């Protein structure tokens, strides 16, 4: 498990959690903060199935919400990434289990970093 508190590359997209933006080429899309937190939590567990309850408690810990709120956040992320739930390339729904980020993730090398990014 990697803590994704810095920018990271997800497939062709640059994800900038601190700015709540996702960019590809010359297009930048601003995400709602909670949607970004869902994306970051999935990225921290890339390739693993994350149960809905764990996502809800990680993102909405201070608020009671229903599964519908998470479902809307996932749908919004899918729209941003042009991902189809039936033929997922980014976020896969695992029925009765949760969600899994299947897009390739790698940290973005910062100018101050002496290490190369690691492909996940």
Q: How large is the average pLDDT for residues 74-83?
A: 95
Q: Please give the Cα distance from 107 to 119 (Å, whole number).
A: 8
More confident: 116 or 94: 94
* Number of alpha carbons in the 13 Å side-chain half-sphere of residue 10: 27
- pLDDT of amino acid 64: 86
Given a cut of 70, whether residue 96 has pLDDT beyond it is: yes
DSSP 51: -
Going by C-alpha positions, the residue among 104, 101, 112 that lies closest to residue 8 is 104
Mean pLDDT over each residue of the chain, to the nearest integer? 87
Residue 11 has pLDDT above 80, yes or no: yes
**Domains along the chain?**
8-105 (1.10.10.10)
Whether 119 shows a pLDDT value over 60: the answer reads: no
79 has a pLDDT exceeding 70: yes
Nearest to 9 by CA among 35, 32, 43: 43
Q: Is residue 4's pLDDT more than 50?
A: yes
Counting other chains too, the contacts that 84-89 makes at CB distance below 8 Å and 24 or more residues apart are: 89/11
Per-residue pLDDT averaged across 70-80, rounded? 95
Reading phi first (left if > 0) and then psi (alpha if -120 to 50, else beta), residue 25 is in left
């Amino acid at each position: 498990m990697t803590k994704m508190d810095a920018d990271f590359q997800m497939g062709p997209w640059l994800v900038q959690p601190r700015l709540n933006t996702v960019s590809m080429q010359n297009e930048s899309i601003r995400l709602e903060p909670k949607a970004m937190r869902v994306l970051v939590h999935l990225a921290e567990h890339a390739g693993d199935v994350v149960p809905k309850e764990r996502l809800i408690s990680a993102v909405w810990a201070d608020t009671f919400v229903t599964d519908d709120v998470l479902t809307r956040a996932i749908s919004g992320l899918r729209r941003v990434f042009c991902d189809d739930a039936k033929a997922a390339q980014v976020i896969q729904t695992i029925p009765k289990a949760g969600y899994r980020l299947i897009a390739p993730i790698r940290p973005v090398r910062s100018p101050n970093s002496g290490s190369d990014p690691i492909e996940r």
